[in-house]
């Protein structure tokens, strides 16, 4: 939602170099605290003239909590700035709930996943995206080689491209979701994305579904054992 915002232009090198100005900014309408969509009322704003970064504090009219929105400013002509949205604080990222059985069976995957989530929570989104891609690869390869003894076959699978390992998955649904996840994960490692409409949240959602499918296989195996006992 675009609005005209009054703010203070501040020179960090000179405490006396402060004056009021205004500009048009695109204020996000989703509150990071309550996730409600609605008007975020501007409270105050300040611009660091050395780095051309504008920070605006808003109040959510639904939950009355404060958020700070960061913009990069480009001077279009003298005294006029064009603003480009960068981030909102606090930045609450949704962690992936991994089934306990998967946590136990795939410790390397879990370690990389946790590190990726920590990177995302500290706004290192570029690193987080690459981390989720790596976590995906570890999960798929550990899953495929789970019951293989050390040897040439296992070594081949661990060293081959992820796409080739995905083809080995026997569960059609798991294979489809793994393939889609790998596409989005690869986008996180390249300058030009092939699927710009998708991002980190989609990768996390797909990884969550994959781990749930694997957990479902464990449960199905347990059910099979139970049914065989009754024969």
- Least confident stretch, 130-139, 165-174, 194-203: 194-203
73, 54 contact by CB (below 8 A): yes
Give me the residues paired with residue 83 across strands.
73
Query: In terms of domains, do 32 and 12 share one?
Result: yes
With 80 as the cut, is the pLDDT of residue 181 above it? yes
For residue 129, the enclosing domain spans 100-229
How far from 80 is each of 9, 26, 133, 141, 230, CA to CA, in Å?
Answer: 12, 16, 41, 53, 79
Element (H, E) at 94: none
How far from 88 is each of 46, 57, 91, 96, CA to CA, in Å?
Answer: 15, 10, 6, 21
Query: In terms of domains, do 186 and 214 share one?
Result: yes
Query: In terms of domains, do 218 and 133 share one?
Result: yes
Can you point out the beta strands (E) in 61-207?
66-77, 80-89
Query: In terms of domains, do 81 and 190 share one?
Result: no
Burial status of residue 175 (CB atoms within 10 A of its CB: 0-12, 13-18, 19 or more): middle
The pTM (predicted TM-score) of the whole model is: 0.59
**Residue 144 within any structural domain of the chain:** yes
42, 27 contact by CB (below 8 A): yes
Query: In terms of domains, do 137 and 186 share one?
Result: yes
**Residue 94 within any structural domain of the chain:** no
Query: In terms of domains, do 139 and 29 share one?
Result: no
With 60 as the cut, is the pLDDT of residue 18 above it? no
Query: In terms of domains, do 142 and 82 share one?
Result: no
Closest CA to 88 of 130, 174, 30: 30
With 70 as the cut, is the pLDDT of residue 231 above it? no
With 70 as the cut, is the pLDDT of residue 163 above it? yes
With 90 as the cut, is the pLDDT of residue 199 above it? no
Query: In terms of domains, do 63 and 123 share one?
Result: no
pLDDT tens, residue by residue, 54-111: 888 889 888 898 988 888 877 776 666 677 888 888 765 557 888 989 988 999 999 9
Give the tokens for residue 27: 């204020």
What percent of the chain lies above the pLDDT cut of 90?
A: 32
Q: How confident is the model at residue 136 (pLDDT cuts 50, 70, 90)?
A: very high
**Residue 95 within any structural domain of the chain:** no
With 80 as the cut, is the pLDDT of residue 212 above it? yes
Query: In terms of domains, do 129 and 170 share one?
Result: yes
**Residue 64 within any structural domain of the chain:** yes
Cα 123 from Cα 127, distance rounded (Å): 9
Cα 112 from Cα 128, distance rounded (Å): 10
Q: How confident is the model at residue 162 (pLDDT cuts 50, 70, 90)?
A: very high
Q: What is the mean pLDDT of residues 176-202?
A: 89
Element (H, E) at 41: strand 40-48
What is residue 120's predicted lDDT score, i.e. its pLDDT?
Answer: 83
222 vs 95, higher pLDDT: 222
Query: In terms of domains, do 106 and 81 share one?
Result: no
Query: In terms of domains, do 18 and 51 share one?
Result: yes
Of the residues 32, 56, 89, which one is the last residue of a structural domain? 89
The CA radius of gyration of the chain, in Å to the nearest whole number, is 24
What is residue 16's predicted lDDT score, i.e. its pLDDT?
Answer: 44
Query: In terms of domains, do 83 and 179 share one?
Result: no
How many separate domains does the chain show? 2
Q: How confident is the model at residue 177 (pLDDT cuts 50, 70, 90)?
A: very high
Of the residues 68, 89, 110, which one is the last residue of a structural domain? 89
What is residue 10's predicted lDDT score, i.e. its pLDDT?
Answer: 45
């Amino acid at each position: 939602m675009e609005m005209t915002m009054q703010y203070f232009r501040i020179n960090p090198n000179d405490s006396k170099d402060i004056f009021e100005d205004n500009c048009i900014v695109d204020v996000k309408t989703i509150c990071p605290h309550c996730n409600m969509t609605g008007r975020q009322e501007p409270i105050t704003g300040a611009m660091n003239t050395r780095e051309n970064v504008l920070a605006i504090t808003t109040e959510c009219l639904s939950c009355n909590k404060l958020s700070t929105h960061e913009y990069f400013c480009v001077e279009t002509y003298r005294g006029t700035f064009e603003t480009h949205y960068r981030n909102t604080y606090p930045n609450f990222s949704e962690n992936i709930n991994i089934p306990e059985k998967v946590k136990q069976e795939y410790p390397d995957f879990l370690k990389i996943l946790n590190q990726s989530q920590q990177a995302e929570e500290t706004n290192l989104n570029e690193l987080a995206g690459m981390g989720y891609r790596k976590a995906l690869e570890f999960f798929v390869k550990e899953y495929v080689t789970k019951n293989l003894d050390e040897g040439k076959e296992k070594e081949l699978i661990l060293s081959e491209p992820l796409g080739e390992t995905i083809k080995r998955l026997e569960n059609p649904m798991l294979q489809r979701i793994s393939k889609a996840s790998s596409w989005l994960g690869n986008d996180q490692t390249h300058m030009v994305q092939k699927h710009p409409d998708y991002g980190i949240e989609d990768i996390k959602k797909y990884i969550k579904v994959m781990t749930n499918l694997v957990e479902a296989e464990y449960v199905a195996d347990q059910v099979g054992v139970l049914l065989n006992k009754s024969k």
